[in-house]
Amino acid sequence: MPNVRRPRDRVSSRRMRAHVIITLVLLTGACGGSSQKKADGAEDAAEQGSAAAEEDIPVTPLKPAPPGLSASEQKELAALCNPIEPLMYDAGKQAITTLEAELAKGSADADKKALDAALAMLKDAKGLGADDQKRCGELFEKQQKLRIHEYEPAEGAARAAIKSCVERAAATFGKQSADYDMGGSGEAVADQGPFCPDDFPVPQSLKQLPYKSTSEDWSNNTWRCLSFGLRGEQAFQIEYSAPVGANEFNCIARYLPRQGGAPFELAQGGKVNPQGELLLAKKIVKRRMK
């Protein structure tokens, strides 16, 4: 059975989480005009802690990454291989396309097949002498090995979910219809603030990934208030946090890296400034969980 927290006291639990949830570093200066504005400093949130969805975070052995290009090798690649740069770009795209297809099939040697597909495209390169072409192939192979190793299929979908979550949280900001109590009656709560109430993530444990959600997962006050839900299999966990009285929210996604190690966490949110305006973080921040 997965290690799942029980909703014993949802309000007090969220108040405790307010002390540890990701703190967005936003602009302190107030600006007039629109009620939704961007804020600098969101990248600093990557150094802050966050409340994990469970006590036990699954960590698997980390496969060592291959070495990337050195600074001198990067310069050599740019100067020597400029005549075939468009072809290398296409070959790099082919590597990722092949990797995604092989991972979807569950291939054990997906990384190797992706690299082979990219290198095959360089065999017909024109405009370089034999020695230069060989050297460019060596540099490109070293570059692609690291790129393929670091590629995370779950990250793109997780970023899209966070973007949608942030947009919906901003759209419901300050609306009376966004007020719900945490007991499920749908009545307004005085100290909830201007954001939709939060609840447990979907799925509740990272150990449940990949996860196929049902309509019941999105039927509580949190997701109904945000008009948010996902279909199909999830390779990531999604959470919306809005601690009572904190006047801020965060959309958080977590996924298990395919090369092992601790899970990755992505987050983006916003905070209300003293003038009552909603400041949105400029970008999604990414960090390794501990």
Q: Say what the pLDDT of residue 194 is.
A: 86
Please tell me whether the peptide bond between 203 and the residue prior to it is cis, using omega within 30 degrees of 0: yes
Burial 175-184 (b: 16+ CB within 10 A, else e): eeebbbbbee
Instruction: Please indicate, yes or no, whether residues 227 and 186 belong to a single structural domain of this protein.
Output: yes
What letter would DSSP give residue 84?
G
Tens of pLDDT, residues 151-167: 999 999 999 999 999 99
Q: Decide if 203 contacts 237 (C-beta within 8 A).
A: yes
Does residue 51 carry a pLDDT above 60?
Answer: no
Instruction: Please indicate, yes or no, whether residues 162 and 211 belong to a single structural domain of this protein.
Output: yes
Residue 182 lies in a domain: yes
Instruction: Please indicate, yes or no, whether residues 159 and 146 belong to a single structural domain of this protein.
Output: no
Burial 18-28 (b: 16+ CB within 10 A, else e): beebbbbbbee
Residue 1 lies in a domain: no
Residue 246 lies in a domain: yes
What DSSP line would sit under 214-278, residue for residue?
A: -GGGG-SHHHHHHT----SEESSEEEEE--TTS-EEEEEEEE--TT-BSPEEEEEEEEE-TTSPE
Tens of pLDDT, residues 194-234: 899 999 999 999 999 999 999 999 999 999 999 999 998 99
Among residues 101, 125, 150, the one where a domain terminates is 150
Q: Say what the pLDDT of residue 192 is.
A: 57
Tens of pLDDT, residues 71-100: 999 999 999 999 999 999 999 999 999 999
Instruction: Please indicate, yes or no, whether residues 118 and 237 belong to a single structural domain of this protein.
Output: no
Sequence-distant (≥ 6) Cβ neighbours of residue 42 within 8 angstroms: 24, 25, 26, 268, 281, 282, 283, 285
Name the residue with tokens 């400041």: 279
Among residues 150, 171, 199, the one where a domain terminates is 150
Does residue 26 carry a pLDDT above 90?
Answer: no
Sign of CA dihedral 212, 215, 221, 227: positive
Number of domains in the chain: 2
Instruction: Please indicate, yes or no, whether residues 102 and 134 belong to a single structural domain of this protein.
Output: yes
Instruction: Please indicate, yes or no, whether residues 88 and 115 belong to a single structural domain of this protein.
Output: yes
Helices and strands (H and E) in the chain: how many: 7, 8
Q: Tell me how crowded residue 247 is: count the other CB atoms within 10 A of its CB.
A: 17
Instruction: Please indicate, yes or no, whether residues 171 and 144 belong to a single structural domain of this protein.
Output: no
Give me the domain span that covers residue 170: 10-60+153-288
Instruction: Please indicate, yes or no, whether residues 142 and 158 belong to a single structural domain of this protein.
Output: no
Euclidean distance between CA atoms 244 and 253, whole angstroms: 21
The mean pLDDT value for 160-176 works out to 90
Instruction: Please indicate, yes or no, whether residues 133 and 256 belong to a single structural domain of this protein.
Output: no
Instruction: Please indicate, yes or no, whether residues 36 and 83 belong to a single structural domain of this protein.
Output: no
- To the nearest whole percent, how much of the chain has pLDDT over 90? 63
Among residues 119, 150, 181, the one where a domain terminates is 150
